[in-house]
Structure 1
Amino acid sequence: MTEKHRLHDANFPSAREEASPRETEYPPAYRLAFNDQDFLLREELRGLRFHLELQKPEMTLKEHGVDATIAIFGSARYLSPDQAKAASAAAEASGDPAVIRRAKRDERNSHYYDQARRLGQLVTEHSMNCAKPEQIYVVTGGGPGIMEAANRGAQDAGGPSIGLNIVLPHEQAPNPYISPEFCFRFHYFGIRKMHFMLRAKAVVVFPGGFGTFDELFEALTLIQTGKSRRVPVLLVGHEFWGKAINLEFLRDEGVISPEDVNMIKVVDNADSAWQEIIDFYDLSPGRAPSC
């Protein structure tokens, strides 16, 4: 039988086709460079690894048509109300005053978990009723606490969400509410933070520690310097942020411009944060297919 030739077959075999598992039978030097992990992890190839960490999520998100996100930041340490209540009961049983104080604090702060979950739900409900170009996806750092809550809210609404996890000395697993196809892991903080801002149409920041502040001030610096276009930067919780950040003091000391004070807005709940985003972009809160 005459061999059939297809017009659009590739002229060259793919790298995948030539990455033979039999390479392990030969000395390491014989392995194809792109199939040699020891080679790829050399110090001299750090720049290549930067590029790979940029490209893997970028290509995946583009393939799925993800163009717009809401970046939600906040503490990995905050518990859900159920977890906090159980921990408080256990603390009371211990009789240790210091343990009881910490448990009561965690129970008081657990409402932020609920608000982050609510925000994830609001954003995703909007997107589930929009045509593809208008869809907005929740993106978090992929870990526990506020991150888990926002991803969980998206799942509550029946939609996908994104998690950008990071390798840490104390191993951090991705929370179970991230969509599997959007569950990414990074070695480099800088590339991870770049991905947070590449598609962010708003940044919503719940109370948190050093990591949360790093993410917040990364966004503010990019906007202030014109490296990023202006997007809403919303801080949730007057009680926390009124003590944690004082932009008026920085303005009065002359280290930021007077208009920089207006780069952030403090709100007290998820509904207010979502309304700020709706107003900024003139989004329709209705359920028309095209929004």
Structure 2
Amino acid sequence: MTEHDRRHPMRHAREDVETSVGVPSTPQSRSPSYRLAFADEDFLCREELRPVRLQLELLKTTLLMDEANIVSTVVLFGGARIPRPETRDTARTETLRGLADQYEEARRFARLVTEKSLAETGGTENVIVTGGGPGVMEAGNRGAAEAGGRSIGLNIVLPHEQAPNEYVTPELAFNFHYFAVRKMHFLVRAAAVCVFPGGFGTLDELFESLTLIQTGRMERVPFLLFGETFWRRIIDWEALRDAGTIGDDDLDLFRFVETAEDAMATMAEWHLPRTRREALHR
């Protein structure tokens, strides 16, 4: 029980949970109706309790992040199937074998971001957050761990999903039932969004994040796409503009980068006027 829990004079809920376990076993005490509502998993999983479960998923992660003093994050989205460089030969396609280099860039980028965070803020700002799984996600958490810093993993329960990767900071490993709440937690503290090659999940995260920025529902932050060749092959950005379904300015919401160093420089220059950014690269 924490000091905060002792600020009021009422009996603590945890004490009643412990007491209720030891009551004599009778037909009445064994009845589901007798269980404490907040300790009754069957009750909490009822259809009518969905709003409560949504609130709990939002609140638990928020409280634990606040208690861990996570002020801001750098988001890494990317595919679970991107192989480590040393296992590229086992990848099932030639493209995936080539994308193994993106694992290493994600790892190096996370390491650089975390080193800078530790030096400048003691590791409270620009904390790496990933989906907590394998591939690019593992690379991001791994790079942060190699720098001696913390990183966050936002996993979700899937039919064939694995445990969080071994590099996520244990007290910052979260698990979700609702995709919507999970995606909200990716972005509510985001100081930058970095997207590596991936599949449906990565594309979903990419476009939802861009839509929030485009529509003004989210502040504009550095938005980096790693691997220009991949992204131009997958998405015809200019075709969207030429069709009139997005505007010219929408193509300026993001930048292509190739290396961890490119990404760090682009983040540093992000809020400079366009003419100043261009002058730096002449």
Query: Does TM, scored on the shorter chain, surpass 0.5?
Result: yes
Q: 2:213 aligns with which of 223, 227, 246?
A: 223
Aligned residue in 2 for 1:36: 40
| CA distance in 1: counterparts of 2:135 and 2:253, whole angstroms | 26
Aligned residue in 2 for 1:53: 57
Amino acid at match of 2:104: D
The Cα shift of 1:133 comes to 8.4
- SS of 1:19's partner is helix
The Cα shift of 1:36 comes to 0.6
Aligned residue in 2 for 1:83: 87
Contact 1:126–1:135 under 8 Å retained in 2? no
Contact 1:69–1:138 under 8 Å retained in 2? yes
Unaligned residue ranges in structure 2 (runs of 5+): 1-5, 273-282
Contact 2:106–2:143 under 8 Å retained in 1? yes
| CA distance in 2: counterparts of 1:258 and 1:111, whole angstroms | 31
Aligned residue in 2 for 1:125: 115
The Cα shift of 1:23 comes to 6.0
Contact 1:73–1:212 under 8 Å retained in 2? yes
Amino acid at match of 2:51: G
Aligned residue in 2 for 1:106: 96
Distance 1:23 1:145, change over 3 A: farther
Aligned residue in 1 for 2:74: 70
Contact 2:38–2:44 under 8 Å retained in 1? yes
- SS of 1:272's partner is helix
- SS of 2:22's partner is helix
1:162 aligned onto 2:166: no
Amino acid at match of 1:22: G
1:193 aligned onto 2:180: no
Aligned residue in 2 for 1:91: none
Identify which range, 174-183 or 256-265, moves more after superposition.
256-265
| CA distance in 2: counterparts of 1:228 and 1:24, whole angstroms | 54
| CA distance in 1: counterparts of 2:247 and 2:65, whole angstroms | 36
Aligned residue in 1 for 2:15: 17
| Deviation digits for residues 256-280 of structure 1 (CA, Å, limit 9, x no counterpart) | 1221111111111111112111223
| Deviation digits for residues 187-239 of structure 1 (CA, Å, limit 9, x no counterpart) | 00000000001001111000111000000011101001111010111100011
| CA distance in 2: counterparts of 1:137 and 1:9, whole angstroms | 32
Contact 1:23–1:30 under 8 Å retained in 2? no
The Cα shift of 1:24 comes to 9.1
Matches within 5 A, 1:262-273: 262-273=252-263
Amino acid at match of 1:15: A
The total of aligned residue pairs comes to: 261
| CA distance in 1: counterparts of 2:75 and 2:61, whole angstroms | 15
Distance 1:64 1:281, change over 3 A: farther
| CA distance in 2: counterparts of 1:56 and 1:207, whole angstroms | 30
| CA distance in 1: counterparts of 2:146 and 2:259, whole angstroms | 18
| CA distance in 2: counterparts of 1:270 and 1:123, whole angstroms | 9
- SS of 1:110's partner is helix
| CA distance in 2: counterparts of 1:23 and 1:233, whole angstroms | 56
1:173 aligned onto 2:177: no
The Cα shift of 1:255 comes to 0.8
| CA distance in 2: counterparts of 1:158 and 1:24, whole angstroms | 51
Distance 1:9 1:267, change over 3 A: closer
| CA distance in 2: counterparts of 1:49 and 1:193, whole angstroms | 16
1:242 aligned onto 2:232: yes
Amino acid at match of 2:156: I
Contact 1:23–1:31 under 8 Å retained in 2? no
| CA distance in 2: counterparts of 1:194 and 1:148, whole angstroms | 21
The Cα shift of 1:108 comes to 1.9
Identify which range, 176-185 or 245-254, moves more after superposition.
245-254
The Cα shift of 1:135 comes to 2.5
CA RMSD of aligned residues (A): 1.8
Normalising by the residue count of structure 1, what TM-score does the alignment of the two structures yield? 0.85
Aligned residue in 2 for 1:3: none
Contact 1:166–1:185 under 8 Å retained in 2? yes
| CA distance in 2: counterparts of 1:249 and 1:141, whole angstroms | 30
